[in-house]
């Protein structure tokens, strides 16, 4: 597996503001992903973040709302822009270590007031 960290672990933000979440992994990985887990729900894939290319977004998620950076093989950021209460969720990054096996970071719990 891999050791994955996320910052911040939680935050409370006001509507209309933006928050950038960081994800750091202890080894170089090609594929990183961002997921959202809304309260009481399962995980939904937001986007795939590969180093050296633009992020690929799933249906219902757009770059203007969730810009992603992937500057190197161990780091990625997800920004939640112009937040509304509906963005209150847990945001998780994951890495694919081969054969589609994914390992998750601890998550960032976001509350928008």
| Residue from the set 14, 42, 53, 113 that interacts with another protein by CB under 8 A | 42
Which residues between 5 and 34 bind another protein (CB under 8 A)?
A: 31, 33
Q: In terms of CB distance, is 33 or 66 closer to another protein?
A: 33
Three-state SS sequence of the chain: CCCEEEECCEEEECCCCCEEEEEEECCCCCEEEEEEECCCCCEEEEEEEECCCCCEECCCCCCCCCCEEEEECCEEEEEECCCCHHHCEEEEEEEECCCCCEEECCCEEEEEC
Q: Binding residues for another protein, how many (CB under 8 A)?
A: 24
Is 45 among the residues that bind another protein (CB under 8 A)? yes
Residues at the contact surface with another protein, assessed by CB under 8 A? 1, 31, 33, 35, 41-45, 48, 56, 58-59, 92, 96, 99-107
């Amino acid at each position: 597996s891999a050791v994955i960290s996320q910052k911040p672990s939680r935050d409370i933000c006001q509507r209309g503001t933006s928050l950038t979440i960081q994800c750091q992994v202890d080894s170089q990985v090609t594929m990183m992903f961002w997921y959202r887990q809304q309260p009481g729900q399962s995980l939904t894939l937001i986007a795939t973040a590969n180093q050296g290319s633009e992020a690929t977004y799933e249906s219902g998620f757009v770059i203007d709302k969730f810009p992603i950076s992937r500057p190197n093989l161990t780091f990625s950021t997800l920004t939640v822009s112009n937040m509304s209460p509906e963005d209150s969720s847990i945001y998780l990054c994951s890495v694919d270590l081969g054969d589609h096996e994914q390992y998750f970071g601890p998550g960032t719990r976001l509350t928008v007031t």
